[in-house]
């Protein structure tokens, strides 16, 4: 009668040891704390499945930061990105999520500072010349004013989390020129918008590199899926709600942003 008790006790001990080892391995496998900063492209506006508590920031469970965190189990995850954010909003409202032990940071920022929403509204409602003139203003801002604003944000991130690996992601081109769209914007407008996206990405990439950050270029990933392409579009055209217009769809987040961020995060 004593042998079964001994066997049972030994089995219980082994199970307890195995469970303890499993817990230790799981904790050790967790990545460093991750903080997602930025604007609507990081919040996931356009992807749906918004987190109710995020309010007007419209953070989505289908946004690349949320998807990456779910797949990689960082030791902590702070989702601070907010739709409509400019560089000043990051400085005022988002940096509190950073700590000296934060190991990974992602950010998209700069498009709203350069007037993204107004540019698209002008190009949708105005003539070719009106659209191009507004884009020229945005380009001048991106070249002459935005770099210093990005420097302020990037320096603040480094000050708050000096050991963090920071990944700065860019923006996709919106249109395939000479594509399948029969209606909508003219090719003149589409080309000007795409060229402005290229310039903006160049400015952001340069500032990121100068701060020792990694730049994640999403343009190649989105190329087969731009508006007017023959493939599945990963960007909304003009849609309802209007706030989702010209933002990545759920597929754009998972197929465009997520792989680029995953590769850059290391």
Q: Give per-residue pLDDT as tens, 201-240.
A: 999 999 999 999 999 999 999 999 999 999 999 999 999 9
Catalytic residue among 40, 42, 58, 97: 40
pLDDT digits over 247-257, tens only?
Answer: 999 999 999 99
- The yes-or-no answer on residue 56 being catalytic is no
Mean pLDDT of 3-26: 36
How confident is the model at residue 30, as a pLDDT? 58
- The yes-or-no answer on residue 40 being catalytic is yes
CATH numbers and ranges of domains, the chain: 32-265 (3.40.50.1110)
Mean pLDDT of 58-69: 99
Asked if residue 183 has pLDDT above 70, the reply is yes
Q: How far is CA 237 from CA 29, 67, 132, 136, 251, in A?
A: 41, 24, 19, 22, 14
Length of the chain: 266
Helical (H) or strand (E) element with 38: strand 34-38
Spatial CA neighbour of 85 closest among 97, 102, 75, 74: 97
Strand partners, 167: 106, 214
Q: How far apart are CA 107 and CA 94, in angstroms?
A: 11
Catalytic residue among 165, 225, 236, 247: 247
Question: Confidence band (pLDDT; 50, 70, 90) for 179?
Answer: confident
Question: Is residue 9 classed exposed, middle or buried when 0-12, 13-18 and 19+ CB atoms within 10 A define those classes?
Answer: exposed
Query: Is the separation of the CB atoms in 134 and 119 below 8 Å?
Result: yes
Asked if residue 27 has pLDDT above 50, the reply is no
Mean pLDDT score across all residues of the chain: 91
């Amino acid at each position: 009668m004593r042998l079964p008790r001994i066997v049972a006790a030994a089995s219980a001990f082994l199970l307890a040891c195995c469970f303890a080892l499993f817990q230790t391995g799981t904790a050790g496998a967790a990545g460093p704390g991750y903080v997602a900063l930025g604007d609507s492209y990081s919040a996931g506006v356009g992807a749906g499945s918004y987190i109710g508590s995020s309010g007007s920031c419209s953070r989505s469970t289908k946004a690349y930061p949320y998807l990456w965190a779910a797949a990689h189990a960082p030791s902590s995850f702070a989702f601070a990105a907010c739709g409509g954010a400019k560089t000043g909003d990051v400085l005022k409202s988002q940096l509190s999520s950073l700590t000296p032990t934060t190991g990974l940071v992602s950010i998209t920022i700069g498009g709203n500072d350069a007037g993204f929403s107004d540019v698209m509204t002008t190009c949708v409602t105005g003539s070719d010349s009106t659209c191009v003139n507004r884009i020229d203003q945005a380009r001048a801002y991106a070249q002459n004013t935005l770099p210093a604003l990005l420097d302020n944000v990037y320096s603040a991130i480094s000050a708050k989390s000096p050991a963090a690996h920071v990944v700065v992601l860019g923006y996709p081109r919106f249109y395939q020129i000479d594509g399948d769209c029969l209606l909508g914007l003219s090719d003149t407008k589409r080309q000007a918008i795409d060229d402005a996206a290229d310039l903006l990405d160049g400015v952001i990439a340069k500032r990121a590199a100068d701060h020792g950050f990694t730049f994640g270029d999403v343009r190649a990933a989105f190329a087969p899926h731009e508006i007017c392409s023959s493939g599945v579009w990963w960007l909304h055209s003009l849609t309802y709600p209007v706030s989702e217009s010209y933002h990545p769809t759920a597929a754009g987040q998972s197929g465009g942003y997520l792989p680029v961020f995953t590769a850059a995060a290391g």
